[in-house]
Amino acid sequence: MTEDDCATAIERLLPPWQKQRSVLAALQVPSSEQALVKGLERYMAVREYEWRLTADAMRKRDVTLLSQARAARVAALGIRMPGISARRRSRRSAERITLGSSALNQEIRRTQGLDEASMNLYNDAIARARLGKISLPDVAATIEKDIIAPWNQQLGRLLALELHGPPDWTRRPVAEFMRRRLDAWRLTARATRERDPRLMNRAMAAQRDALAILGETQEQRGVTGVPPTPRTKNAH
């Protein structure tokens, strides 16, 4: 189903859930059972909030909202209800919302490794140029052959993954980071070959734009199964 279909299915759960919650709240029970009923009422209220957040997240394709829904789920499962054993609560609390993909995890790890290798290649080439061992056009050729080409291939692998729903939402900012990082490397190669400080300033700005994409997605780490975005450094 699509994300919108999923949201609609979740929203269909709410009216009978609300009705049952009202029935529960209207029960006349002995004082010895009032704490259990109150606990169940709180549990039902928080679970309803979780489902509303989840439906909203599905419609907006928003992993951060899913993280908030998971927090509500954990809070609901942690509500104390006399008569429900601690062992059962523990077993239920172990439930997780798994939103990641092993294939996506693997490609993000590859992206991180490639980014670190690219930085090392670039720094080594610049150091050799400063020692007069290679020319600046040689540095530009290294960027194009050993950084841009494999980086472009890695972006292709990431985009080729058959992902749907939350894993696809998670891929999007990573792919955007990679596109901007590629633009920055291309500008860096041009600036180095042409010895153009203005182009190099543009390359540095492009690198900052790429890094900003990572900063905007840090909250995704709060959702179980969503891999962290690749850690990286500026290339200048």
Percent of the chain residues past pLDDT 70, beyond the cut: 83
pLDDT at 226: 42
Task: State the pTM of this model.
Answer: 0.71
Q: Does the structure show a pLDDT above 60 at 227?
A: no
User: What is the amino acid identity at position 198?
Assistant: R
Buried b vs exposed e over 165-184: b needs ≥16 C-beta within 10 Å?
bbbbbbbebbbbbbebbbbb
185: buried, middle or exposed (CB in 10 Å: 19+, 13-18, 0-12)? buried
Per the prediction, the chain carries an average pLDDT of 86
Which residues, other chains included, contact 10 with Cβ-Cβ below 8 Å and sequence gap of 6+? Answer: 51, 54, 55, 58
pLDDT at 100: 61
Contact in structure between 107 and 158 (CB atoms under 8 Å): yes
CA distance 86 to 134: 68
**Which tokens in the block code for residue 101?**
């993909």
User: What pLDDT digit, counting tens, does each position of 47-89 carry?
Assistant: 999 999 999 999 999 988 998 998 999 999 888 877 765 545 5
Q: Does the structure show a pLDDT above 60 at 8?
A: yes
143: buried, middle or exposed (CB in 10 Å: 19+, 13-18, 0-12)? buried
Contact in structure between 165 and 211 (CB atoms under 8 Å): no
**Cβ count within 10 A of residue 235:** 22
CA distance 230 to 214: 8
Handedness of CA 64, 65, 66, 72 (dihedral sign): positive
